[in-house]
Amino acid sequence: MIVVTGGAGFIGSNLVRGLNRRGITDILVVDDLVDGDKFLNMVDLQIADYMHKDEFRALVCAGDLPRPDAVMHQGACSDTTERNGHYMMDNNYRVTLELFEYCQAREVPFLYASSAAVYGAGPRYVEAPEFESPLNVYGYSKLLFDQVLRLRMDHLTAPVVGLRYFNVYGPAEQHKGRMASVAFHNMNQYVREGHVRLFGGWDGYPDGGQQRDFVFIDDVVKVNLFFLDHPEISGIYNCGTGRAQPFNDVAQTAVNALRIDRGEAALPLEDQVAQGLLRYIPFPEDLKGRYQSHTEADLSQLRAAGYTAPFADVQTGVSAYAATLIEGGKLR
């Protein structure tokens, strides 16, 4: 059995789907369906069982959970604006630590979700303490367990891999609301309002020019499965494309994908702006000083670990994402 926590969520449900494609169905999904609409991410999945996160945590802490073959821990509060530090540290840090201790005691491979938020404003995104300075308690909750793993690295009884996700986008994120990806919001905004809004220039960047490392969910799944296949590897690794692209690229690609679906011509960025299809709003005051204007994963350690597959750029990934949403009738 493989445990996938957060398995009804965005990355978790896509991991389960990736396991299903390999013929693996003996999967325990752990999540919190108080937000019942997340069930939509599970209807086409093949799993053995579902368990609420509190019940699962109680079994782990009591040592009563039957030994799984691996734990893929994706469950967490991913709201980077959450200010309740007690909740964030318990939900993100403490639960991860409990699962780690459980897996180490039973020699179970443990893969967990870390985050690029540990780096704060950068400018370098390398898996080393001197580059880590989170801007919020979410980032710190992820960093603290990374630090625990470093302390324990030389004494592990089973493999442990932390993946620092950059800006992940793709199908099955609709339940995330405002925390869904820029691509998701761009496409839905264009359908509803006929235009897309981006932040104007700030921090030395032009309108829509702030840059992020946007990584397609299919690539995130591939990286996870690579480490699941290589239990001889432990460590903390960036999971991004190694390529920073401006928000303008995401918006332009999203608009053009929807225009092409309607039989309209794709447009260059300047024409989208001139026609009011892409508009800029003043950069919010409350985000100044708490915003990552540029992220770009350093993939040196991931490549050194043996992961050689290419990563989709924004134009490829967002176009594929749009096609999935259009085909599913979710943008019409």
**Active centre residues (catalytic):** 138, 176
Distances (CA, A) of 233 to 22, 236, 243: 21, 10, 25
Dist. CA 256–CA 253, nearest whole Å: 5
Nearby residues of 206 by Cβ (< 8 Å), 6 or more positions away? none
- Alpha carbon 76 to its chain centroid, in Å, reads 11
8 Å CB contact between 80 and 54? no
233 three-state secondary structure: coil
Could you identify the residue written with the tokens 């179970």? 108
DSSP 79-141: -TT---HHHHIIIIIIHHHHHHHHHHHHT--EEEEEEGGGGTT-S---SSGGG---SSHHHHH
Amino acid in position 260: I
174's tokens: 């609709």
114 with 165: CB under 8 angstroms? yes
Q: Is the peptide bond before 129 cis (omega within 30 degrees of 0)?
A: no
Give 228: exposed, middle or buried? Use CB within 10 Å, 0-12, 13-18, 19+.
buried
**DSSP string computed for 241-265:** -S--EEHHHHHHHHHHHHHHHTTPP
Q: What whole-number distance in Å separates Cα of residue 133 and Cα of residue 121?
A: 8
CA separation for the pair 252, 77 (Å, rounded): 30
